Chain A
Amino acid sequence: QVRLVQSGDEVKKPGASVKVSCEASGYSFIMNGIVWVRQAPGQGLQWIGWIGPYNGRTRYAEDFQGRATMTADTSTNTVHMELTSLTSEDTATYYCSRGGGDPPLGVDHWGQGTLVTVSS
């Protein structure tokens, strides 16, 4: 079955960077995009961006342009999402999810989430 397994929780200081990984299994990795979404405490879901592993094409939300970078490693079926210049407002649970369609317009499976805490 489709599985998305994310890396463990992280604690970072303001100004630092964080890299969250998402290992996919149970389907053909290059056939579906991976979408990243986050949820800050007490807030709703927020789209960060997506990557198409088949060609490395990326799209980022305006709020994350220049600060988020997504990469795909087809040898390990893993997508990485790096977020730089962290502030306390980046404290959130980050989810990877499998996109449907090209480009992905929605998702069907989700990772378990990675809590990123930004604190001095």
Chain B
Amino acid sequence: SSELTQPPSVSVSPGQTARIPCSGDGLPKQYVYWYQHKPGRAPVSLIYKDSERPSGIPDRFSGSSAGTTATLTITGVQAEDEAVYYCQAAYSNGSPWLFGGGTKVTVL
């Protein structure tokens, strides 16, 4: 499959845990990257290579991957985490890149 599938939306109360799945047939052979995108701003890279977190990213953001599904977990959601989250993967030769459709996280 050449698609990455995400749920369009997730709602969560402050302090609770949000889990965003990303599924794709190719994921067992691909690393997954996660990005946060807020309106009017550049995206922010949250997770690389399935589960690694760049410096400066809060540890409430974590990633995992098993089989054909990768998951971004936000533990202890804060109001500022309201954004659209995208998963992304690429084949080992660098082409093509795939983006999930994005998941809008709403903090209730």
A residues with CB within 8 A of B: 35, 37, 39, 44-47, 50, 59-62, 95, 97, 100, 103-113
Contact = CB atoms under 8 A, between A and B. Distances in A.
A62 B54 CA distance: 30
B62 interface: no
Contacts of B89: 105
Nearest to A35: B97
B101 A110 contact: no
- Per DSSP, chain A at the interface is strand
B24 interface: no
Contacts of A104: 90, 94
Contacts of B92: 105
A103 B42 contact: no
A50 B93 CA distance: 12
B86 A50 contact: no
A37 B35 CA distance: 12
A112 B43 CA distance: 9
Contact of B43 (A59, A105, A110): A110
A47 B99 contact: yes
Given A44-B102, A106-B48, 7 more contacts: A35-B97, A45-B102, A47-B98, A103-B94, A104-B90, A105-B89, A106-B90
A59 B45 contact: no
B95 interface: yes
A50 B45 CA distance: 17
5 contacts: A44-B86, A45-B88, A45-B99, A45-B102, A47-B99
A42 B45 CA distance: 21
A111 B45 contact: no
Given A104-B94, A106-B33, A95 B45 contact: no
Nearest to A95: B42
A103 B35 contact: no
Contacts of A109: 45
Contacts of B98: 47
B88 to A, nearest CB: 6
